[in-house]
Amino acid sequence: MTDSLTIRDNRTGAEYEVAITDGAIKAADLGKIKTSDDDPGLCTYDPGFTNTASCKSAITYIDGDKGILEYRGYPIEQLAEKSTFLEVAYLVVYGELPTKEQYESWVHEITYHTFVHENVKGLMQGFRYDAHPMGMLMASVGALSTFYPDARNIADADNRHMQIVRMIAKMPTLGAWSFRHAQGKPYVYPDNELSYTENFLAMLFKMSELKFSADPRLVRALDVLLILHADHEQNCSTNAVRSVGSSQVDPYSAVAAGVGALYGPLHGGANEAVLRMLKRIGSVENIPAFIEGVKAGNERLMGFGHRVYKNFDPRAKIIKKACDDVFEVTGVNPLLQVAQELERIALEDEYFVKRKLYPNVDFYSGLIYEALQFPPEMFTVLFAIGRTPGWLAQWQELIMDKEQKIARPKQIYTGDRTLTFVPREERWADA
């Protein structure tokens, strides 16, 4: 068997042989297929990149049909059970589990970079009282590029490490402050004696107590949620980070683009949409009518379906278990019953079965976040904090990849050509 593809162009009768490597052909090879010398050559049309690989990556492996997710070769189930978010962050960014010294130094560095410049605080205070925290996060992450102009030096490995540490460290601070802002409460400075996740909770919820402490089961549940979000290969926001990063801009600007992409309801905004949907359905007896509406195309069942998973999203299974741990501390959220019944009905319904629509990571995560007292607008912020190591790992991989170029897709032009411009006074002469 030869690893190549023979293409016969029926327009010209010409045959071409194109190499197949790693199950892919190079799109540029199709450019050789022409009908004449001034033909720009064949290209593929792929809105939403449904069947186009934009990079080679060794970070995350997903088998959507089997419901498998691995970071750097390790199954997500094992990482969620036995690791910590910061250890997973190191793994995702640097490709290997840290030694004891590497882990301690990584945790220390991240802990000591959680503070932000006071002017960042001033910037955040300038937002309207009802600003969406994702908008505040996007703006403040982008603003960090102005506080660290050295971040432009992306070719230097030590410099990249510094920005990676800074960004993983500061995201919870920015996220927590955007939450406090909406509540009109004073911003809480980081506490270097707390773990990454407990410190985040402290910056969110600390009031007048001298020392904040949270139930360890809640801290662990949140840490697991962050692990589950750490990377997910070439999703919309990662593609945004890579696309913007391909211009060789600093990583803060690239990650700000990722935050923007994550803000959308079809991506990170889905868990917020799930909770609003569950609240609107309200109780189990309203589910059949709601499902009928979905099947009639009136709306989507939020938290169901995935571009890649055509089976259970493995993260959804882990989250379902985390729900039990959290509800043990906080008491059961009555919407859990609605979610479980919705899942049961949808998994048996021909419409969802035929389209391979299963619960995704967002279906249950909103319920946990609500039990942890987060308002829905904050859900996507939590996703962004978890995804930051993944964005940075992907950005670093892009920078190191000699095959990468500035992202510049082709288009198929469908507009007019060769029109002649008529000045306004002539166009409007008869009006």
Q: Considering the rule CB under 6 A, would residue 69 count as an interface residue with ligand COA?
A: no
Separation CA 52–CA 45 (nearest Å): 10
| Minimum distance, C-beta of residue 306 to ligand COA, in the bound complex (Å) | 5
Active site residue 29: no
Active site residue 267: yes
| Minimum distance, C-beta of residue 15 to ligand COA, in the bound complex (Å) | 34
| Minimum distance, C-beta of residue 355 to ligand COA, in the bound complex (Å) | 4
Binding residue for ligand COA, selected from 198, 231, 250, 362, defined by CB under 6 A: 362
Binding residue for ligand COA, selected from 179, 196, 200, 304, defined by CB under 6 A: 304
| Residue 397 neighbours by CB distance under 10 Å | 19
CA distances from 113 to 202, 205, 402 (A): 16, 20, 31
Q: Considering the rule CB under 6 A, would residue 310 count as an interface residue with ligand COA?
A: no
Contact criterion met (CB below 8 Å) for 191 and 202: yes
Options 113, 117, 161, 267, the catalytic residue? 267
Region 337-356 residues binding ligand COA, contact defined as CB under 6 A: 355
Size of residue set near ligand COA by CB under 6 A: 16
Binding residue for ligand COA, selected from 69, 302, 371, 392, defined by CB under 6 A: 302
Question: Which residue's CB is nearer to ligand COA, number 220 or number 300?
Answer: 300
Q: Which two tokens stand for residue 129?
A: 């009282």
Contact criterion met (CB below 8 Å) for 240 and 258: yes
Question: Which residue's CB is nearer to ligand COA, number 109 or number 349?
Answer: 349
Separation CA 378–CA 187 (nearest Å): 16
Q: Considering the rule CB under 6 A, would residue 303 count as an interface residue with ligand COA?
A: yes
Separation CA 147–CA 44 (nearest Å): 42
Question: Which residue's CB is nearer to ligand COA, number 164 or number 291?
Answer: 291
| Minimum distance, C-beta of residue 224 to ligand COA, in the bound complex (Å) | 17
Region 210-269 residues binding ligand COA, contact defined as CB under 6 A: 266
| Minimum distance, C-beta of residue 123 to ligand COA, in the bound complex (Å) | 30
Residue with CB nearest ligand COA?
Answer: 305
- Point out which span in 174-182, 201-209, 302-310, 385-393 binds ligand COA (CB under 6 A): 302-310
Active site residue 306: yes
Binding residue for ligand COA, selected from 34, 113, 276, 307, defined by CB under 6 A: 307
Question: Which residue's CB is nearer to ligand COA, number 305 or number 386?
Answer: 305
Q: Considering the rule CB under 6 A, would residue 357 count as an interface residue with ligand COA?
A: yes
Question: Which residue's CB is nearer to ligand COA, number 151 or number 361?
Answer: 361
| Minimum distance, C-beta of residue 264 to ligand COA, in the bound complex (Å) | 9
| Minimum distance, C-beta of residue 301 to ligand COA, in the bound complex (Å) | 4
Q: Considering the rule CB under 6 A, would residue 294 count as an interface residue with ligand COA?
A: yes
Separation CA 42–CA 84 (nearest Å): 48
Q: Considering the rule CB under 6 A, would residue 291 count as an interface residue with ligand COA?
A: no
Q: Considering the rule CB under 6 A, would residue 319 count as an interface residue with ligand COA?
A: no
Question: Which residue's CB is nearer to ligand COA, number 106 or number 304?
Answer: 304
Contact residues toward ligand COA (CB under 6 A) are: 266, 270, 294, 300-307, 355, 357, 360-362
List active site positions.
267, 306, 362
